[in-house]
Amino acid sequence: MDIAGLVAFGLIVFAGSYVQAVTGFAMAMIIVAVVGGMRLLSIPELAATTSLLTILNVILALWGRWHQIYRPIFTWLALGQVPAIFLGFWLMTWLDVNLQWVLELSLGLFITIGGLSMWLKPHPWAQVAGPAASFTTGVAGGIVGGMFSASGPILGWFSYNQPLELSAIRATLLGCFMLTTTTRTGIVMVEDQLTTNVLLYAAIGIPVVVLGTWLGRQFPPPVSEAGVKRGANLILLFMGGWILIRSLWF
């Protein structure tokens, strides 16, 4: 990657970490969508790098707020996530070796559908979701988390429909992201896929994530959270559509 690419990567990571600090999710989606759309990294390297950066972002965003995690939902989401992460990672690896265009097409579909789902205005349910719904959502989030290290649209939609305080929703979401990324990073290490390239871009992104997360916590934007989400959605929809077109015709 040349200097322009490194600068672009840093700006994308900064935007993603800032948005996630404000809204509770979307960092991984933004990084995967934009960096993947620009083909700055291969999908396996991109997912591995995103996992490492997300771990740091979550630690910073949840610092002093771990107690806000809503444990009844988090527990069942986690039970569904963990085994599904292994399945998603295996699927990504197999597609990358045998059907790369299908993997890229899957990424484009995921980004596009994820962007569209974020336009849906959550309507809190009458009661908190039970074990079955939470477990099933955890499985779905785990599969896409294992593939792309970006389970935000699935877990975000589910969490924001819970009749809970916003602080509990955000903390629970971030806790799920921590579980996904640490588990996935452990798999990458065991599979010896934590390459020098991945470590290099993670090292470049670390100070950017620290800065973006700190600014997001201390200086939220002078627009509503809904406005921030709309802006992120437009980026995701554009990049998702571009990845879809490119996977089919380029």
Listed residue (188, 183, 170, 174) closest to 122, CA to CA: 170
Can you give the pLDDT of all 250 residues of the chain as single tens digits? 678 888 889 999 999 888 877 776 678 888 888 888 888 888 999 999 999 998 988 888 888 888 999 999 999 999 999 999 999 999 999 999 999 889 999 988 988 887 787 676 667 788 999 999 999 999 999 999 999 988 878 888 888 889 998 889 889 988 999 999 999 999 999 998 888 888 989 999 999 989 998 898 888 888 776 777 677 777 778 888 888 887 877 6
- Phi, psi for residue 125 in degrees, rounded to 5: -70, 165
Listed residue (198, 210, 179) closest to 60, CA to CA: 210
What does pTM read for this prediction?
0.86
Q: Say if residues 151 and 145 touch (Cβ distance below 8 Å).
A: yes
The full DSSP string for 64-94 is TTGGGS-HHHHHHHHHHHHHHHHHHHHHHHH
11-26, pLDDT tens digit by residue? Answer: 999 998 888 777 766 7
